[in-house]
Amino acid sequence: MNTEKILGAGYQNELESISATSCNIFTAFKNGVGNIYTPHDKKVEFVEINNSILCNVKSSMGYPAFYPLNSGVCNGKAKAVLMDLDGTSVHSEEFWIWIIEQTVCVLLNNSNFKLENEDLPFVSGHSVSEHLKYCIKKYCPDKTVEEARENYFYITRYQMKEIMEGRGRKNAFVPAPNLKEFLLELKNNNVKIGLVTSGLTEKALPEIVSAFNTLNMGNPLDFYDAVISAGNNLTKGQVGTLGELEPKPHPWLYAETARVGLGFSKEEQCVIAMEDSSAGVVSARLAGFPCIGIDGGNIRQSGVECLCDGIYTNLLDTLPKILNK
């Protein structure tokens, strides 16, 4: 099988070979299985089997899943672009990592607590519960995810209210460089634009509204052709429509945005995703779409660069690939 066509050039240098999947369902070179690979952050595992590749999306919450991974292709000019929010459209990762850090401060009753650099790939890009589960396991194993989530959302709502009223953390939500020019160029070329985020609407909407206000672009809900988030926190203790177990790196947010939000199937090979996180890259690829990487997130650090159709520093630099010019 052509593993390089699916995992990308350089996969043997970026991915680590392992003897078996973490769930012990597959063992390398037994029962039709070939190599098994995992990236640096070990959040997923790729299994060569029967001329295909399966991706095991691991879960610290106890709900892993296997998905087929195919080569992502866009033939010619893209008809739609699916854009991640945090880190790709708006620079807000530092803010949300800080919120995680503040949550652990409360759990430890230690206002001086600081996350370490090695924690960064595990507290960005995935779901809130995954981030908190990681921190609990490392720093406060006597606490529960439920306790952590309650504190996290209390801190988040307070900080978001402060920001919206002009008293909160400054520069929490900064538009990515040239975001306005990039989006308008897509519109001018009749490319549909979907906004995709693993965050809840109550977190995501103030971010993009803040960015659009800064850029004098009006209402983002009028501008984007589809906006898909992880749902709404309808009542205390609930996450809403999609929730905490199915977001990135699972494929459903990207699949929902493309197929339901914009009306494009992966078979049409005309959709491109844009991501700065490892979880987002895997999510887009599992949904069947090629993914352009945006530098500044944890793609290189996590070890999934090979899955990207190039990595770029500025959004404008991606236009020739998207528009096939």
How many Å apart are CA 213 and CA 210, to the nearest integer? 5
**What is the model's pLDDT at position 235?**
46
- Is residue 234's pLDDT more than 50? no
Take residue 266 and report the two structure tokens written for it.
Answer: 């992966």
> pLDDT per residue over 15-33, tens digit each?
999 999 999 999 999 999 9
**What is the model's pLDDT at position 73?**
92
In eight-state DSSP terms, residue 259 is I
**What is the model's pLDDT at position 251?**
96
Say whether 39 sits in a helix, a strand or coil: coil
Residues with Cβ within 8 Å of 229's Cβ and at least 6 positions away in sequence, in order, are 197, 198, 199, 200, 201, 204, 205, 242
How many Å apart are CA 170 and CA 185, to the nearest integer? 29
Top CATH class, 80-91+175-323: alpha beta
Comparing CA positions, the residue from 107, 101, 93, 118 lying closest to residue 144 is 107
**What is the model's pLDDT at position 244?**
66
How far is C-alpha 300 from the chain's CA centre? 14
**What is the model's pLDDT at position 243?**
62
Residues with Cβ within 8 Å of 276's Cβ and at least 6 positions away in sequence, in order, are 84, 86, 87, 88, 293, 294, 295, 296, 297, 298, 299
Residues with Cβ within 8 Å of 48's Cβ and at least 6 positions away in sequence, in order, are 1, 3, 33, 34, 35, 36
Query: Average pLDDT, whole number, for the chain?
Result: 91
**Lowest mean pLDDT across 6-10, 81-85, 246-250, 263-267:** 246-250
> pLDDT per residue over 284-320, tens digit each?
999 999 999 999 999 999 999 999 999 999 999 999 9
Read off the pLDDT of each residue in 216-237 and give the average, rounded to a whole number.
81
How many Å apart are CA 176 and CA 183, to the nearest integer? 11
pLDDT tier, 69 (very low <50, low <70, confident <90, very high otherwise): very high
pLDDT tier, 188 (very low <50, low <70, confident <90, very high otherwise): very high
Read off the pLDDT of each residue in 180-203 and give the average, rounded to a whole number.
93
pLDDT tier, 1 (very low <50, low <70, confident <90, very high otherwise): low
How many Å apart are CA 263 and CA 257, to the nearest integer? 8
How many Å apart are CA 253 and CA 231, to the nearest integer? 10
Amino acid at 243: G
Read off the pLDDT of each residue in 101-116 and give the average, rounded to a whole number.
97
How many Å apart are CA 215 and CA 178, to the nearest integer? 10
**What is the model's pLDDT at position 99?**
95
pTM of the full structure: 0.85
How many Å apart are CA 103 and CA 144, to the nearest integer? 12
Residues with Cβ within 8 Å of 86's Cβ and at least 6 positions away in sequence, in order, are 92, 93, 96, 124, 197, 199, 207, 276, 277
Return phi, psi of residue 110, to 5°.
Answer: -140, 100
How many Å apart are CA 294 and CA 67, to the nearest integer? 24
Percent of the chain having pLDDT more than 90? 76
**What is the model's pLDDT at position 63?**
87
**What is the model's pLDDT at position 161?**
84
- Is residue 203's pLDDT more than 90? no
pLDDT tier, 242 (very low <50, low <70, confident <90, very high otherwise): low
Scan for tokens 């504190």, then name that residue.
151
> pLDDT per residue over 125-146, tens digit each?
777 888 999 999 999 999 999 9
**What is the model's pLDDT at position 239?**
45
- Is residue 238's pLDDT more than 90? no
**What is the model's pLDDT at position 148?**
96
**What is the model's pLDDT at position 205?**
87
- Is residue 201's pLDDT more than 90? no
